[in-house]
Amino acid sequence: MTFLELCKALRWSRLSQISYQRANFYSTKTKKKESSMPVNPLKEYYAASFQKENGVVYDKKPFKILCEKGKVYYWCLCGQSKNQPFCDGTHKNIFLKIKHRPVAFTVTETKEYWLCQCKQTNNRPFCDGTHLKEDVVVKRK
């Protein structure tokens, strides 16, 4: 084997190793991320899902609850409900002047889900870890 052939062989082996690592990285990392974060299939159909303002922090930690596939739930966004994490109609009280509306959601699989109770999540109504941010912790004492 000549020196040139040896260099080509080494280069080829290094390139294939890198492409294997990249393929492995993308195939495992992206699949894990996609599967771990639940999404609300009703998000596109209810404008309430896109309210810009978040409600008041009800609790600094999420609530784990069993949700049934296909059943429609109403998640409290205002943070004033006495039936957390679900809406109890408190936002309708005209004296409280609450502008938030509950977020309708459903799940694609019957299992336990972590529902946000800090009301600051970016993946309504599911907890996305925002409650760990310092400003959220400070809001609720």
Which residues are near ligand FES by CB under 6 A?
61-62, 116-118, 120-121, 127-131
Name the minimum Å distance from CB 88 to ligand FES.
19
Q: What is residue 108's three-state secondary structure?
A: coil
In whole angstroms, the minimum distance from the beta carbon of 20 to ligand FES comes to 36
Phi-psi region of 130 (alpha: psi -120 to 50; beta: other; left: phi over 0): alpha
In this structure, the dihedral spanned by the alpha carbons of residues 113, 135, 48 and 45, taken in order and rounded to 10 degrees, is -50
| CB closer to ligand FES out of 7 and 65 | 65
Q: Cβ of residue 54: shortest distance to ligand FES, in angstroms? A: 9
Which residue's CB is nearer to ligand FES, number 84 or number 90? 84
Would you say 13 or 55 has its CB closer to ligand FES? 55
Residue closer to ligand FES by CB (options 20, 74) is 74
Integer angstrom CA distances of residue 134 from 18, 35, 51, 139: 39, 27, 23, 9
Nearest distance in Å: CB 6, ligand FES: 55
> What is each CA distance from 93 to 12, 63, 78, 124, in whole angstroms?
70, 25, 12, 23
